[in-house]
Structure 1
Amino acid sequence: MEKSDNFEEYEDPILYDKENEFYRDDVIFLEKWAKKSKGIIIDVACGTGRATIPLAQKGFNLIGVDLHKGMLREAKKKASNLNLQIEWIEQDCTKLELKVKSEFIFSVGNSFQHFITNEAQDGLLMSVNRHLEKGGVFIFGTRFPSSEELIQPASDEEFWRSYIDTETENKVDVYTISSYDPLKQVQHTTTTRKFKNWDEEVVDEVRTNISLRYTFPKEIERLLTMNGFQIIYVNKDWNETPLTEDSSQMIYVCRKVKNI
């Protein structure tokens, strides 16, 4: 991701893993494409290696790139514990200089939304283009800008979900407050995590802020074309379901057709 105030949401990499490590739909999908490529695979905005590490465990050669020191530190620790040889690189993904080209680059976890300006989106796609071989594949996901999601007025704190902390085995309730800026197409969200004890009493609270860009399908189509990509297809999920107007996600599979 590019450097921004969004770092706040990722200041606790261990908490991030507790809440996200279980998700594997994208990894299963990426493995199918990894088998079609040769050489190094690049995970852009890799975070703690949620997708990088399981692909490396399957025998693929991976580079993970991110700008957040803490997330990369945790990724390195996890890979070392598993004796995996993954190259972890701290760089701004809008200005990549990896001195290597790949047949396959991906970015998951809706990381595309962290590039909230037009310049940042172009920078990301140009960086990916420069590091892809001609005919190489770029796969990324981003949330679908549905009217249901975006036309709602700024809300009071709303309950989102609960989960069980794997370390303490206690419940964590998660609440959010969101507001959408239609001029910038950016949604600002404050997330509050309320940690409970065995008696269901709140014993700690953590509050973080994040801002995410929503980009419409026709915008992305133009962005990709301008930056040397051809869309192979776009789906609504990692199970290859075609995109519909009621989608919550957009999964793009693109091919580099020209240098930028």
Structure 2
Amino acid sequence: MEAYGGFAQVYDEFMDNVDYHQWCDYAAKLLAKYGAKDGTLVEIGCGTGTGTMLFHEKGYNMIGIDLSQEMLEIAESKKEEEEIVYVLQDATNLQLPYAVPAMVSIGDSMNYITDYGDFTKVLERVNEYLEDNGVFVFDLKTKKYFSDIGEKTIAEDREDSSFIWENYFDEETNINEYYLSVFVRAEDGRYDKYEEEHFQRGYTLNEVKKAVEKLGLKLEKIYEAFTDNEGTEENDRVYVVVRKN
């Protein structure tokens, strides 16, 4: 089953409780703090482009990268500026036409990279296409976050769509599984059903530090999300700032 296939149609509707302005404002604050106030910004895991457009409004020239064709089609339909470029790519094989001063990944897109080797590959590709002293800012849900959710079923019903979300977290592998059933009302009043399976990994901060060190990147700081505090394993979400030496 493909992640973010059918769900892509109603993704923005069900994510209306997410404060994208807070996410992007905080990431942009970190980018500026570490010297990336403007220029080209690559967003890895851009999804339907909500964050991409907000970064563009802050003055960045945006390139959005995502693995879901369905999500990118929605992003294309929403954009009002031709300066925003969307590209269908796997982040583990990231390829850009030129080096850029900064990259960003928000909304726990990096958690979707469940293999530690692939996680390292993404950082390797980022390192390849960052300019010297370039900055990469990304967020992560921690192992604690997934462990606290554990085994749980979440359901939500809207006027024209609904979903059932069954969650399971494996404490040994640190892999979180989502089994998602989405029901979308068609024009004739019937409901189309889509089933998807999603996997995320709860990375430890030590794993992140080892991957950064292995690639020769500089770890500037791990932050507790939306604060100036040092991030810890007890946080639900952290933001990581790395720099190309």
Closer/same/farther in 2, CA of residues 90 and 149 from structure 1, 3 Å limit: closer
Q: Which residue of the partner structure matches residue 188 of structure 2?
A: none
- Counterpart contact for 1:192–1:208, Cα < 8 Å: yes
TM-score (norm 2): 0.83
Q: Which residue of the partner structure matches residue 28 of structure 2?
A: 31
Per the TM alignment, residue 206 of structure 1 is displaced from its structure 2 partner at its CA by 5.3
Cα deviations by residue, 1:124-155 (Å, 9 ceiling, x for unpaired): 11111111112111111111111x743887x4
Q: Which residue of the partner structure matches residue 58 of structure 2?
A: 58
In structure 2, C-alpha distance between the alignment counterparts of 1:151 and 1:108, rounded to whole Å: 21
Q: Which residue of the partner structure matches residue 200 of structure 1?
A: none
Closer/same/farther in 2, CA of residues 175 and 69 from structure 1, 3 Å limit: closer
Give the aligned residue type for 1:109. Answer: G
Closer/same/farther in 2, CA of residues 11 and 251 from structure 1, 3 Å limit: same
Q: Aligned pair 1:188/2:177, yes or no?
A: yes
- Counterpart contact for 1:48–1:74, Cα < 8 Å: yes
Q: Aligned pair 1:15/2:13, yes or no?
A: no
Q: Which residue of the partner structure matches residue 252 of structure 1?
A: 240
In structure 1, C-alpha distance between the alignment counterparts of 2:149 and 2:59, rounded to whole Å: 45
Per the TM alignment, residue 93 of structure 1 is displaced from its structure 2 partner at its CA by 0.8
Give the aligned residue type for 1:178. Answer: N
In structure 2, C-alpha distance between the alignment counterparts of 1:241 and 1:191, rounded to whole Å: 35
Closer/same/farther in 2, CA of residues 74 and 119 from structure 1, 3 Å limit: same
- Counterpart contact for 2:45–2:65, Cα < 8 Å: yes
Q: Which residue of the partner structure matches residue 213 of structure 2?
A: 225
Give the aligned residue type for 1:111. Answer: S
In structure 2, C-alpha distance between the alignment counterparts of 1:142 and 1:236, rounded to whole Å: 10
Give the aligned residue type for 2:45. Answer: A
- Counterpart contact for 1:133–1:256, Cα < 8 Å: yes
Instruction: Give 3-state SS (helix, strand or coil) of 1:103's partner.
Output: strand
Q: Which residue of the partner structure matches residue 113 of structure 2?
A: 115
In structure 2, C-alpha distance between the alignment counterparts of 1:246 and 1:34, rounded to whole Å: 24
Instruction: Give 3-state SS (helix, strand or coil) of 2:166's partner.
Output: strand
Q: Aligned pair 1:214/2:202, yes or no?
A: yes
Instruction: Give 3-state SS (helix, strand or coil) of 1:100's partner.
Output: coil
In structure 1, C-alpha distance between the alignment counterparts of 2:226 and 2:5, rounded to whole Å: 24
Instruction: Give 3-state SS (helix, strand or coil) of 1:8's partner.
Output: coil
- Counterpart contact for 2:143–2:233, Cα < 8 Å: no
Q: Aligned pair 1:150/2:147, yes or no?
A: yes
Which blocks of at least 5 consecutive residues in structure 1 are unaligned? 197-202
1:193-208 pair list within 5 angstroms: 207-208=195-196
- Counterpart contact for 2:146–2:202, Cα < 8 Å: no
In structure 2, C-alpha distance between the alignment counterparts of 1:242 and 1:175, rounded to whole Å: 36
- Counterpart contact for 1:143–1:248, Cα < 8 Å: yes
In structure 2, C-alpha distance between the alignment counterparts of 1:171 and 1:46, rounded to whole Å: 23
Cα deviations by residue, 1:186-213 (Å, 9 ceiling, x for unpaired): 11122345789xxxxxx78654321111
Cα deviations by residue, 1:188-247 (Å, 9 ceiling, x for unpaired): 122345789xxxxxx786543211111111111101111222221112213334324431
- Counterpart contact for 2:153–2:167, Cα < 8 Å: no
Give the aligned residue type for 1:249. Answer: R
Equivalent pairs, count: 235
Give the aligned residue type for 2:25. Answer: I
TM-score (norm 1): 0.78
Closer/same/farther in 2, CA of residues 89 and 176 from structure 1, 3 Å limit: closer
Cα deviations by residue, 1:20-49 (Å, 9 ceiling, x for unpaired): 255222111123245542421110111111
In structure 1, C-alpha distance between the alignment counterparts of 2:53 and 2:11, rounded to whole Å: 15
Closer/same/farther in 2, CA of residues 178 and 90 from structure 1, 3 Å limit: same
Per the TM alignment, residue 58 of structure 1 is displaced from its structure 2 partner at its CA by 2.8
- Counterpart contact for 1:49–1:75, Cα < 8 Å: yes
